[in-house]
Amino acid sequence: MIWCMSEPTSVRALPRKAIGAEVWCVLALSLGMSAVWAVISFTAAATAPGGLSAQTANLVTPASERPWLDLAVQTYRLVFAFAPVALVFYLLYRSNDSARTIGFDLRRPGFDLAGGAGLAALIGLGGLVVYLVSVQLGLNRPIVPSELNEHWWQVPILLLQAVKNGVVEEVIVVGYLLLRLEQLGWSPLRAALASSFLRAFYHLYQGVGMFVGNLVMGLVFCWFYRRYGRVMPLVVAHSLIDIVAFVGSVYLIGRLDWLPGA
């Protein structure tokens, strides 16, 4: 694997302790907090009667039986989920960096779409195999990507959820985190391992299989980012994977016997 890229941008007037504190604050407000909750959720599920395979992991759930209120809550959750990304872009700006530094821009749409589609096919198919096998072995919860009721806005909300996951996770756990860790003096490989294990841990609530699958996904994504210096293909890939999972679950779970989660 190629773990090198151009030298990280220097941080303007920020000592190492300040950079470290910044990283901890960003993670505490976003995916680091999710990782802690995932560990608690996994422990509760693994020690419950019947173990992991007797329970489901529900990803997008309804907030109310009243459609208009449910839509309002889903929209509220989506909008404010982008707050940590806005914070990251602000912090990058303050340090003479920007979204463009990590390749979150529209300069290379063809490359981003093609690269993202290729990664989505590779990771998506491999992840599906890992998921099915781990559920059969009792190492994973059956996943129900969406439990939203059949309203006219169900699919648009699921599409936005998928894009939100792609933007939030790849901007923070790959682009921002790798940049800051290297500015702290971490080696590219060490930073990639930290990023990948963080990704694995905040997916642990789904089970051991998806922990391993997301660890591999993280390493592949970090390699791709180091190779090309762009986070946009990762956003595209992640969004496509989740679009297939979320929207596909609406039409396939319960209709295909081999697909868990019914």
pLDDT tens readout for residues 12-33: 557 889 999 999 999 999 999 9
What's the CA dihedral at 5, 186, 224, 216 to 10 degrees? 160
Q: Is residue 4 part of a domain?
A: no
Q: Is residue 262 part of a domain?
A: no
* pLDDT at residue number 83: 97
Q: Is the residue at 257 inside a domain?
A: no
Residue 8, C-beta contacts closer than 8 angstroms, at least 6 positions apart: 179, 182, 183
Parent domain of 124: 17-252
- Split into its structural domains, the chain has a count of 1
Q: Is residue 2 part of a domain?
A: no
Q: Which of 105-114, 140-149, 168-177 has the lowest mean pLDDT?
A: 140-149
Please give the Cα distance from 33 to 202 (Å, whole number): 8
Give 100: exposed, middle or buried? Use CB within 10 Å, 0-12, 13-18, 19+. exposed
pTM, two decimal places: 0.90
Comparing 88-102, 126-140, 164-178, 230-244, which segment has the lowest mean pLDDT?
126-140
- Percent of the chain, pLDDT > 70? 91
In a domain? residue 259: no
Residue 237 and residue 221: Cα distance in Å, rounded? 10
State the sign of the Cα–Cα–Cα–Cα dihedral 198, 202, 206, 208: positive
Would 7 be classed as within a structural domain?
Answer: no
